[in-house]
Structure 1
């Protein structure tokens, strides 16, 4: 049966040919049941993969970065320095995420993926799925919205992308981490758990509410998010007042950026807050990408250990330099010295005066 192409291909016939050659006739040799319960026929060895959101693109990266055909958003220079050459200068194709952004269909056609990954974070729709499936390009949906989804997601991606051993190793790491953190947190009495404020924005007066995926690491590690109000928009960063933060009286403040950390530490207004008075304003590690959030990624697995150790060092006596070395070897294929690992741990901290 001839392949039916959407009207856009009549305007871009060269792209139609590229997609037809690269995708429509790709041999299909396996089926998989995805997170929506659909049975999807997939390439035996996909060579060009597109993911609809930054978190899912980074999960694909963790398995095999060179399969990616593009990014969802521009990549920061610091991250590019870590990337292998095959992904450093990939085009920005867009995706379903954040503040109403959508994929660039023309750029997607030129990229000619032979497999599409649509994770929980992507919020794709039937029309866009049909755009791919109408071209004979399979779409596999995975659960990836929470850190708890990672063991299954990584194992599935390992099988899909032709490296089940790597997917199993990363999935096992994720599962072991989740179990260790849950066990340790269960042993901390409720009245001993620290009250934490997540300071975002230019002035630290933006935050994300309890239960937000933006603060998931904090809460899984046993911290009490003092801002109990649910976030009002998917992107988060809801505004609060200084009076509200003072009333919260957090015992520890997580600073989104070094700039925010420095501003809080230097401000007389913030000094009345217990966390500031006691010197417990902590910057989030941010290299090669933010460990905690924006975008939420597989780095949250390492962030869980860092967060738990930061909050409760006696319950979680991790050697974080060694943990960072082991993690970067498994997920980034990087052999770090102890000094390099410690530099990553300090990457979100403000310069000392």
Structure 2
């Protein structure tokens, strides 16, 4: 089964055997999962995540085990932090007897983590690009620095302009005003919202901002899962090199994003993209062809 209904665009990047699985919901956001339905499908094992900043904890795992009875419930640690997710991938490889595959996935992740750790550590504050993460169709919701939702900005050495609005909660989004974004005047804007991206260059208010003037607004690739955020998870692994290319294209000329995209989709999603497929995904995100 699957948690939610795939869109037509997402189905382009989902192996055929998963296209017609029944939708059974789950325990995230809408909290519409059904113990009875899950038990009736007779799973061999139940995996419950316990995430930093998320909804799951050990008491939830114990509750699940009580409800599932003899079906074993296994907790896997943090899958929300792209820098820590390798431990969870290794653990899952052991659980399902796929250690070699887990190593392959982690090798991909570590390759780009090592690269951005090295390069970002050498950035002086004066050389860091300022970045605004625009959420919502009006672009006026955001997340501050140290949020799981904006973690890729921090990871690659960007300076999140919304850091001052953290309000003590780094997981929840915050509402900001157009005037505030104009005053921040970021070098780059990253968004997950196609509606916002479709009109930002034609909006006179956003046109006052350097990122818009300089055509430096980027839309996270969307399918089958977003690269930058929502959900936070393994889908963000390919977002590491993408965000690095967005912020510092000259520093990451050694990354071939077409090859990285094809490798990620093959290894993680079991979908083989053509060169043209990968190129189009990247161009649609706002990356310039010379930076692929």
TM-score, normalization by structure 2: 0.87
Cα drift, residue 74 of structure 1: 2.7
The question of whether the paired residues in 2 share the 8 Å contact of 1:291 and 1:297 is answered with no
Match of 2:214 among 275, 278, 281: 278
Tell me the equivalent position of 2:191: 255
Cα drift, residue 289 of structure 1: 2.0
- Specify whether residues 87 and 308 from structure 1 end up closer, same or farther in structure 2 by C-alpha distance, changes over 3 A only: same
Tell me the equivalent position of 1:107: 37
1:267 aligns with 2:196: no
Q: CA deviation digits over 1:72-125, x for unaligned, max 9?
A: 333333222322233222233333323x52522222122222111112245151
Tell me the equivalent position of 1:85: 16
The question of whether the paired residues in 2 share the 8 Å contact of 1:255 and 1:261 is answered with yes
Matched ranges for 1:120-139 at <5 A: 120=51, 121-123=54-56, 125=60, 126-132=62-68, 134-139=69-74
1:288 aligns with 2:224: yes
Match of 2:5 among 68, 74, 78: 74
Q: CA RMSD in A?
A: 2.2
Cα drift, residue 266 of structure 1: 0.6
Structure 1 unaligned segments of length 5 or more: list them.
1-69
The question of whether the paired residues in 2 share the 8 Å contact of 1:287 and 1:344 is answered with no
Aligned length: 279
The question of whether the paired residues in 2 share the 8 Å contact of 1:118 and 1:140 is answered with yes
1 CA distance for matches of 2:177 and 2:75? 43
Matched ranges for 1:33-72 at <5 A: 70-72=1-3
2 CA distance for matches of 1:201 and 1:275? 18
2 CA distance for matches of 1:250 and 1:234? 20
Cα drift, residue 131 of structure 1: 1.5
- Specify whether residues 222 and 168 from structure 1 end up closer, same or farther in structure 2 by C-alpha distance, changes over 3 A only: same
Cα drift, residue 287 of structure 1: 2.5
Cα drift, residue 145 of structure 1: 2.1
- Specify whether residues 320 and 197 from structure 1 end up closer, same or farther in structure 2 by C-alpha distance, changes over 3 A only: same
Tell me the equivalent position of 2:149: 214
Stretches of 4+ moved more than 6 A in 1?
231-235
TM-score, normalization by structure 1: 0.73
Q: Secondary structure at the match of 1:83?
A: coil
1:225 aligns with 2:155: no
Structure 2 unaligned segments of length 5 or more: list them.
288-292
Q: Secondary structure at the match of 2:162?
A: coil
**Higher radius of gyration, 1 or 2:** 1
Tell me the equivalent position of 2:268: 331
2 CA distance for matches of 1:286 and 1:295? 11
1:117 aligns with 2:50: no
2 CA distance for matches of 1:302 and 1:295? 13
The question of whether the paired residues in 1 share the 8 Å contact of 2:129 and 2:188 is answered with yes
